Structure 1
Amino acid sequence: MNVELLDLKSFVTVADLGSFVRAAELLNLSQPALSRRIRRLEETLGARLFERTTRHVALTAVGRDFLPKARRLVEEFESSVLAIRDLGRRTSGLVTVAAVPSVAFRFLPKTVARFSEAYPRIRIRILDIGANEGLEAVARGEADFGINYIGAADAAFDFTALLEDPFVLACRHDHRLAARQRVRWDELDGERLIVIGQTSSNRRLIDNALGQRGMRLDWTYEVMHLSGMLGLVEAGLGIAVLPSVAAPPAAQSIIHTVDIVAPRVSRTIGIVQRHDPPVSPVAGRLLAMLLEDWQAPRSTG
């Protein structure tokens, strides 16, 4: 026997209101759709539930007998849904995420806001630290999971790739290269180049990729943080190489970004987890929500 919940709710609503017209309005259904649901329920039960005239709707003997049973089924289902929602709101705990800074505040806020609305009693700690430190935090169990661009080749971790993040050139809007769609690495020679420090995994990734081509960065300024690079670019002191997700949105900045090719250098950003033990249930909820949001259409600015 296949009885849908909305069929039962339709029956109860018509019985309570004594009108197909008002029941359809309350249920946000068209009258033909409501009639089809009642007819399908009657066919499933093998009996008529209503006596219909042009002015009146009344329950049959079978309908009067079935009404309390249908009402109880609908109420029990709705009570169960409310109980589950309340359980989610009463669930407490702590989730710690180790995320590289360039990613943490570009993609996490939307998910954190949605998660906090669903689970207001669960606290979230975000460790916005470098790639190596973040991987170590996951390995030591200090973080439930990480968002990182290293760890994919480490057998100690599960790595779920999320997006490919190319390195781009950041220029002030009045710089001669700002109007270009793409530049080659060798075209940066002679420019006042701003780079991230050699202790950064981003820097090592770039140096390794260029070294394979017999190339190297000829820089003028070296900083420790990506925010410092952007500050120097805005001040007109030079141009910078940085991950595309770290670039400010074009509509909100005097900084323009340009693709760098020959070679194109990129990093793969993904979720890093330990094999064992698995993430806690509350961390698993945040992780699932993060994957949903990341896979949805988005603008990277």
Structure 2
Amino acid sequence: MGVNFDLNDLQAFRAVVELGSFRKAAESVNISQPALSRRIEKLEDALGVRLFERTTRSVTLTTVGRVFAPSAEQLLDDLDVALLGIRDVSSSRLGHVTIACVPSVAYYFLPNVVASFHRRYPRIRVKLLDSSANEVLSSVISGEADFGVSFIGSQEAEVDFKVLLQERFVAACRRDHPLAQKKRVTWNELYEHEYVSVDKTSGNRLLLDQALSAVAPRAPSVCETRHVTTLLGLIEAGLGVAAVPSMAMPGRDHPVLTSVPLVDPVVKRRVGIVTRRGRALTPAAQQFHRTIIELKRGDDSSPPAKSAGTAAS
């Protein structure tokens, strides 16, 4: 006797598992909630087991459901692999990809990647985990994320770190700030002004503390934050200046913010793609990975910016 369920039923099951809600799952696969419930019931009837425990407040997997979930995921991934060999299926491919990324990369660089990816694969759902560098590593190692984009990981035994680019730290300031008129700024010059910084939980703070052991600020920072993106908001509000990775800066046409290269010393960080060692990427993650590489190559081939006061990545 054949098993009477189809691909749509498996996709409905995966959506409920990921989102923990029949309503949210129905929205994600673009059907009504009653229609999604019927797909789940059809799958349960075909398997002869209950996959979910439902109450008015929550949806949880049964013991059998927890065992079945990885198999369902593998079935869908295997189908995606098969579709890779068929031409002109990009507009109809299904799947999902989860990327962990440090906020300084997620804010300005990654949105272009997601937009390009969505145009090519509109039915593949993307989930971004914008987290600290240490949390990015943990997400990749635990399997919560398919891969990560970060600046630490090259020394970790459990992951592979493939360098994507190398970027320098720049002085971020308002366009009406005195530093904005300079072609370059030393760290000592930066610290002559009121400045804001990231706190000691930040991977960027650790990197800067190691690189600037010979540079001593004259006064403590006006304010500390956990993420670089918050620093930029404070600078835009006129709270001072800050040292940030060049990739964290908005485009050169930003009406308020600009940046100047920092020297004496030049401090750089390597941004790379972090994957768990020994674990193959899913087809959807492979395509997202490829999109990042393609867009990075496109940026490399673009002519450098000529306007003064804006640092190149």
Under TM normalisation by the shorter chain, which class is it?
0.5 to 0.7
Partner of 1:290: 292
Mapped to 1, the partners of 2:116 and 2:249 lie a distance apart of 24
Deviates more, 1:255-264 or 1:102-111: 102-111
State the distance in 2 between where 1:242 and 1:294 align.
Answer: 20
The residue type paired with residue 282 of structure 1 is A
Q: Does 1:254 align with 2:256?
A: yes
Given residue 167 of structure 2, which amino acid in structure 1 is its aligned partner?
Answer: D
2:272 to 259, 262, 270: 270
Which whole-Å deviations, capped at 9, do the CAs of 1:56-78 have from their partners, x for residues lacking one?
xxxxxxxxxxxxxxxxxxxxxxx
Q: Which of 89, 92, 96 is the matching residue for 1:90?
A: 92
Report the counterpart of residue 122 of structure 2 in structure 1: 120
Structure 2 counterpart SS, 1:163: strand
Q: What does residue 226 of structure 2 align with?
A: 224
Q: Is the 8 A contact 1:167 1:243 kept in 2?
A: yes
Q: Which structure has the bigger radius of gyration?
A: 1
Counterpart selection for 1:209 from 208, 211, 215:
211
* CA displacement at 1:250 relative to structure 2: 2.6
Partner amino acid, structure 1, of 2:114: V
- Return the alpha-carbon distance in structure 2 between the equivalents of residues 109 and 220 of structure 1: 30
Distance 1:119 1:251, change over 3 A: closer
> How many residues align structurally?
220
Q: 1:227 to 1:116 in 2, by over 3 A?
A: closer
Q: Distance in 1 between matches of 2:127 and 2:179?
A: 40
CA RMSD of aligned residues (A): 2.4
User: Structure 2: where are the runs of 5+ without partners?
Assistant: 1-83, 305-311
Query: Given that residues 196 and 226 in structure 1 are in contact (C-alpha distance below 8 angstroms), is that contact kept between their aligned partners in structure 2?
Result: yes
Q: Which amino acid aligns with 1:215?
A: A
* Matched residue type, 1:108: L
Distance 1:120 1:255 in 2: 33
Matches within 5 A, 1:42-191: 84-86=87-89, 88-191=90-193
Question: 2:66 — aligned with what?
Answer: none
Report Cα offsets for 1:92-128 as digits up to 9, x if no partner: 2111011111212322233323322332221111111
- Rounded Cα–Cα distance in structure 2 between residues aligned with 1:230 and 1:119: 32
Cα distance, 1:143–1:180 mapped onto 2, change above 3 Å = same
Mean CA deviation greater in 246-255 or 133-142: 246-255
Mark the CA change 1:250 to 1:117 in structure 2 (over 3 Å): closer, same or farther: closer
Instruction: Please identify, of 101-110 and 201-210, the stretch whose mean Cα deviation from structure 2 is larger.
Output: 101-110
2:283 corresponds to which letter in structure 1?
P
Q: Read off the aligned partner of 1:84 and give its amino acid letter.
A: R
- After superposition, the C-alpha distances for 1:163-221 in whole angstroms (9 at most, x for unaligned) are 1111111122222211111111122333211111111101111111111x253574222
Question: Gaps (5+ residues) in structure 1?
Answer: 1-80
2:103 alignment partner AA = P
Q: Is contact 1:189–1:218 with CA below 8 Å preserved after alignment?
A: no
- Partner residue, 2:15: none
TM-score, with length taken from structure 1: 0.67
What's the counterpart of residue 7 of structure 1? Answer: none
SS in 2 for 1:250: coil
Please give the TM-score of this superposition, normalised by the length of structure 2. Answer: 0.65
**Runs (4+) of structure 1 moved beyond 4 Å?**
298-301
Q: Secondary structure at the match of 2:178?
A: coil
Distance verdict in 2 for CA 1:176–1:115, change over 3 Å: closer
Name the CA shift for 1:231/1:91 in 2 (closer, same or farther; >3 Å).
closer
Q: CA deviation at 1:82?
A: 11
CA displacement, residues 12-64 of structure 1 (integer Å, 9 cap, x when unaligned)? xxxxxxxxxxxxxxxxxxxxxxxxxxxxxxxxxxxxxxxxxxxxxxxxxxxxx
* Number of the residue aligned with 2:23: none
1:158–1:82 distance in 2 versus 1, CA, 3 Å: closer
Q: Is the 8 A contact 1:192 1:221 kept in 2?
A: no
Report the 3-state secondary structure (helix = DSSP H, G, I; strand = E; otherwise coil) of the residue aligned with 1:295. Answer: helix
Give the direction of change, closer, same or farther, for the CA distance of 1:118–1:232 in structure 2 (3 Å limit). Answer: closer
After superposition, the C-alpha distances for 1:126-166 in whole angstroms (9 at most, x for unaligned) are: 11111110111001011011111000122322111111111
1:85 is paired with a residue of what secondary structure?
A: coil
* SS of residue matched to 1:153: coil
Letter in 1 for 2:239: L
